[in-house]
Copies of this chain bind each other. A is one copy, B any other.
């Protein structure tokens, strides 16, 4: 299977290069009968939109999403939902110099090594713009999850060494937080950090966290399609992500078993109450009904305005000063991408789970008569 499809029952296939005619996604396997209009998708697209603040690229991406198929009379049809986003704001000439140069930190060389040539305009298929198609498709999955009472809370937990405080956690602030941090103070500090780095022509990375609540117990499959394994793939497939953790993640490595196990205690009625959620809501790849907790580390934008040394197609060292408009910190815009990839993964696992028990299959078909 080539690389641009993801999922089992719910399968998303994306296409498109940064500066071609357009990018988009085909979402197949989505259940019929959910209300859907373009505005449902645009609400998510705007969260990813650049050019929204001083700390973001000035590239204007209107990112109007057109639903080409799969929706009739305002409802999903069960057939593939094709989504198209035209590429409008293309300054291809900006990239002419990239034809023979491989930039540090980018996939320029590796695409050439694989395919023998590449679309050198703005990174082509390897551009972060590709994630717009994920958001368009993921918004549809997220909408359905919300209708089923599942809450997806994703935010920026750190930018460089500025971390949010659990004490100051303020979900309501998220809508207006430029950094995606749910913490007024940290947001302010991180903005300062980013502004300073932008002035230097530099960039910075960060941490995204997600809490998904309301997912029933029993979601996920054994062995290779563990829910955490699929989430790890979903998140690591986002270009800038270099690390993925579930629950307490890397801290599990340093813990003793007696500390790391989520222990139970008896309440006044003798009922067992789980005291912690270090596992992040997943055991053996299957949810236990607690919040799913995950995080991922995002690298700093490799496109920086500083002088760098690159390699050219002949293997020679060449000076590089990247022109163009780039985010000094991609993390705030990546939050919704992580959320959407998680939504696609979890909904797929929920659909998959409906056939896990023979009794449920029997019950589903018991009422159906053949003609």
Contacts and interface: CB of A to CB of B under 8 A. Distances in A.
Interface residues of A, number: 180
B217 A113 contact: yes
Contact of A248 (B28, B242, B359): B242
B302 A254 contact: no
Nearest 8 A-B pairs (CB), nearest first? A107-B284, A289-B371, A3-B221, A2-B29, A3-B225, A203-B257, A266-B317, A272-B311
A82 interface: yes
A235 B301 CA distance: 26
Contacts of A82: 15-16, 22, 24
A182 interface: no
A371 B189 CA distance: 37
Contact of A358 (B17, B32, B228): B32
Contacts of A357: 31-33, 78, 114-116
Given A205-B252, A256-B204, A272-B311, A223 B161 contact: no
A371 B288 CA distance: 7
B104 A264 contact: yes
Interface stretch (A42-50, A165-173, A346-354): A346-354
A361 B264 CA distance: 32
A152 to B, nearest CB: 14
Given A265-B309, A285-B237, A67 B21 contact: yes
A348 to B, nearest CB: 10
B300 A257 contact: yes
A147 B267 CA distance: 43
Given A33-B359, A370-B215, A247 B242 contact: yes
A283 B287 CA distance: 32
Given A9-B352, A11-B2, A272-B310, A246 B243 contact: yes
Query: How many copies, total?
Result: 4
A124 interface: yes
A266 B308 CA distance: 12
Given A24-B68, A33-B359, 18 more contacts: A2-B10, A2-B221, A20-B69, A22-B82, A33-B115, A77-B124, A78-B222, A79-B124, A106-B284, A109-B217, A114-B217, A114-B220, A148-B365, A229-B234, A232-B232, A242-B245, A265-B309, A272-B312
Given A13-B26, A69-B22, A308-B263, A364 B355 contact: no
A366 B356 CA distance: 17
Contacts of A261: 104-105, 302, 304, 308
A263 to B, nearest CB: 5
A279 to B, nearest CB: 7
Contact of A6 (B3, B81, B218, B224): B224
A311 B365 contact: no
B28 A3 contact: yes
